[in-house]
């Protein structure tokens, strides 16, 4: 299978400049390393009607192209079910009936990392599970054998993060992100994952799960985010940050693309022209502070 990189947005609304910058970087990383570049729509949750078409349009407007047909997670449920069935058959899952509030209020296990699931439902008896089934549906959690896992990141080096009994399938039947992303990347031949560094914390969970499923762990590169003037991750509440809003104040997509390239120390122009000058090791290590340009 051909190796590939990818961009995987959730169709919850228009992409903003931060999303587009990450997509451009993912494209540059993939193409500079001889990989294909794929697009996956992560539509298991938070879907807004028409958002996918808007996102594909905006990616193309700044020059991001993809090599194969778009893949959607809602079309891949059989793959997720098979992975959970395998883990369950191996005794690596259990049902959990905890609400989010109960998890937040539960005392942590001794020496457990902060924020880790405390294992409340790990050792429920069959009778206890039946009682809880009568009042609420269960999620499916991984029965983890480790508390942390190490990954190697191209930009951050070795990173050790928490691995707890994380959710594989939510109690509403929806596959959880940490499982879906691992299964999808392996199935698509994606061996390079470039995404925002706010997702670095979840990466050890995904790498550990891939190892349990006998799947190859991708090469990771978590890139700095785009932030507002307060240093907070850019959001749509920060003003003109989408291509639509910027076009309304006289800033065309080509100008936005050039600003993105400038922020990663590349010359203005097409992505293909910028690719000649792209060196991952020369990327800025700090977030890019977004300032809406003048028309």
Question: pLDDT, tens digit, for every residue of 230-287?
Answer: 899 998 888 889 999 999 999 999 999 999 999 999 999 999 999 999 999 999 999 9
Q: What pLDDT is recorded for position 184?
A: 98
User: Which phi and psi angles does 158 have, rounded to 5°?
Assistant: -75, 130
- List of residues 6+ apart from 128 with CB closer than 8 A: none
In 3D, which of 239, 191, 200 has the Cα closest to residue 219?
A: 191
- In this structure, is the dihedral angle defined by the CA atoms of residues 137, 139, 143 and 144, taken in order, positive or negative? negative
Distance CA 180, CA 76 (A): 9
DSSP state of 175: B
Does the annotation flag 255 for ligand binding? no
Q: Is the pLDDT of residue 110 over 60?
A: no
Q: What pLDDT is recorded for position 251?
A: 96
Distance CA 175, CA 150 (A): 24
Does the annotation flag 8 for ligand binding? yes
Does the annotation flag 210 for ligand binding? no
Distance CA 54, CA 15 (A): 8
Q: Is the pLDDT of residue 159 over 70?
A: yes
- List of residues 6+ apart from 117 with CB closer than 8 A: 103, 141, 164, 165, 166
Q: Is the pLDDT of residue 107 over 80?
A: no
- List of residues 6+ apart from 279 with CB closer than 8 A: none
**Could you report the per-residue pLDDT of 91-104, keeping only the tens digit for each?**
999 999 998 888 88
Q: Is the pLDDT of residue 114 over 80?
A: no
Does the annotation flag 6 for ligand binding? yes
CA-to-CA dists, residue 27 to 8, 22, 222, angstroms: 12, 9, 14
pTM for this entry:
0.94
Average pLDDT over residues 33-48: 94
- Structural domains present in the chain: 4-75+224-289 (3.40.50.620), 77-178 (3.90.800.10)
Q: What pLDDT is recorded for position 113?
A: 62
Q: What pLDDT is recorded for position 238?
A: 83
* Average pLDDT value for the chain: 94
Average pLDDT over residues 78-83: 98
Q: Is the pLDDT of residue 198 over 60?
A: yes
Does the annotation flag 128 for ligand binding? no
Does the annotation flag 152 for ligand binding? no
Does the annotation flag 121 for ligand binding? yes
Does the annotation flag 117 for ligand binding? yes
184-220 core/surface letters (b: 16 or more CB in 10 A; e: else): bbbebbbbbbbbbbebbebbbbbbbbbebbebebbbb
Q: What pLDDT is recorded for position 132?
A: 93
Does the annotation flag 9 for ligand binding? yes
Distance CA 232, CA 103 (A): 27
Q: Is the pLDDT of residue 15 over 70?
A: yes
Does the annotation flag 94 for ligand binding? no
Does the annotation flag 220 for ligand binding? no
Q: What pLDDT is recorded for position 239?
A: 84
């Amino acid at each position: 299978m051909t190796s590939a990189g990818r961009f995987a947005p959730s169709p919850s609304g228009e992409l903003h400049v931060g999303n587009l910058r990450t997509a451009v970087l993912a494209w540059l990383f993939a193409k500079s390393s001889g990989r294909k570049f794929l697009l996956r729509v992560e539509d298991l949750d938070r879907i807004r009607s028409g958002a996918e078409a808007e996102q594909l349009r905006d990616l193309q407007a700044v020059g991001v192209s993809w090599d194969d047909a778009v893949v959607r997670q809602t079309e891949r449920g059989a793959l997720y079910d098979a992975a959970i069935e395998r883990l369950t058959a191996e005794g690596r899952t259990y049902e959990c009936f905890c609400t989010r509030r109960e998890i937040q209020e539960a005392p942590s296990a001794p020496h457990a990392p902060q924020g880790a699931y405390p294992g409340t439902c790990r050792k429920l008896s069959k009778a206890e599970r039946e009682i809880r089934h009568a009042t609420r549906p269960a999620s499916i959690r991984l029965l983890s054998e480790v508390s942390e896992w190490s990954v190697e990141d191209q930009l951050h080096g070795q990173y050790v993060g928490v691995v707890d009994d994380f959710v594989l399938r939510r109690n509403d039947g929806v596959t959880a992100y940490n499982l879906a992303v691992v299964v999808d990347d392996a199935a698509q031949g994606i061996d390079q994952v470039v995404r925002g560094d706010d997702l670095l914390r979840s990466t050890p969970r995904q790498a550990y799960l891939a190892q349990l499923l006998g799947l190859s762990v991708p090469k990771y590169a978590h890139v700095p985010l785009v932030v507002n003037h307060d240093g907070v991750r850019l959001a749509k509440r920060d003003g003109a940050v989408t291509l639509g809003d910027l076009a309304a104040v006289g800033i065309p997509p080509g100008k936005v693309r050039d600003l993105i390239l400038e922020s990663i120390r590349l010359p203005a122009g097409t992505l293909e022209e910028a690719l000649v000058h792209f060196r991952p090791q020369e990327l800025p290590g700090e977030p890019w502070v977004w300032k809406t340009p003048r028309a």
